[in-house]
Every structure is written in structure tokens, then in C-alpha cells.
Amino acid sequence: MDRDLERALREAAASPGDPDALRAAVAGRAEREGLLDVAYDELDSPLGTLVAAATPRGLVMQAYAEDDDDPLALVARRVSPRVLRAPGRLDPVRRELDAYFAGRLRRFETPVDWTPVRGFARRVLQRTAAIPFGRTATYAEVAAAAGSPRAHRAAGNALGANLIPIVVPCHRVLRSGGYAGGLDRKRLLLALERGED
């Protein structure tokens, strides 16, 4: 780490002040120094608090904060351990999610960083990202579109491990017979897209 940055961090830590301003200063300095590989922040939504993370290439993770897994640890392992809270970098996705939940956004423009996902799983998620607003597909249809028509279970596993739900709309993929059990978020998101109350 750069000695000037180390000194600035020590000085900032030694002086009391606004923690948000301190975080912003540290994140800004880390970004200028090329040390901020992954920026994250918490975002409010009707489904609860979301944790979103982005690299310079795009959104790499957006998860439900109340879930048991530690999504930032996963991003640190798969992308980079240099993860800092930097709300400014997440402003574009925050605005798009707000517009989506308000019913004003039908297609996300936020770029996605596919780095943590490889092979068939990546193809499944990319095909899922192309499912139009308010429409659905089956696991078998997504598997076929991803190049393996008989791999519907593998497609289900890839969707279950989706790091970017909502933006990569796994809620639009259903079993052949309709919903699977215990999918309240999926039902709520599809109802929102269909204009149902």
C-alpha cells in the first residue's frame, strides 16, 4: 500500500468525525490510487435491504441483506479482496432499482460484470437477463437457449446461485408446471411487473 495512503488512513482514524465522510474519503482515495476493485453499498427496496457491489466493469453482485450468506465475502473470494463501501459508484443501479420498483423501468441498463460466473452457468444467466419484462420462461427453455436442452436441473442450480437477482431476473424462470413452492419474492416481482396488486 502507498505510504501516503497509509498515513492518510491513520490520520483519519485518529481524528473523530463523521464516519460517512471518512468512508467516502477513504473510498475516494482508494479509487484514485487504483486500489478500489469492488465498491459496495446497501440499497433500500420493497423486498428489504439489498447489498450491491460493482467493479469498474459493472454490477457484480446484488443480494438480499437478510439472507444468511455473506455475499461480500463471496465477491472478495471470486473477484477481489479489495472491497470498500463506496455509495457513489452504486448510484446508477440504485436509481434503476428505484425506478423498477416504482413501475417506471422495464429494462435495466446497468452493465453486469460476469467475472464470477463461468461456462454453462454464465450462459444460463445471460439468457435469463434477456427474458423480457413481465414474461416468463421455464428452466428447460433457458437450458435449451444456453445450449444444453436436457440440462434443466443444471440451469436451476445456476439460477439458484445467481449473484444478481432482479437485474438478472431469475424470478422470470419457472418450473414447467408454474411456480415452485416458497418463492414469495418471485411472486412479488412478477406481480409488480404485471401490474397486479
Q: Are 193 and 133 in contact (CB under 8 A)?
A: yes
What's the grid cell of residue 33?
A: 490510487
What's the grid cell of residue 102?
A: 416504482
170: annotated active-site residue: yes
Catalytic pick among 63, 170, 173, 189: 170
Residues 6+ apart with CB under 8 A from 156: 139
CA dihedral of residues 19, 25, 27, 33 (deg, nearest 10): -150
Rounded Cα gap, residues 25 and 8, in angstroms: 10
- Other Cβ atoms less than 10 A from the Cβ of 64: the count is 16
- Give the H/E segment covering residue 61: strand 58-64
Rounded Cα gap, residues 51 and 97, in angstroms: 12
Question: Which of the 8 DSSP states describes residue 161?
Answer: T
Active site residues: 170
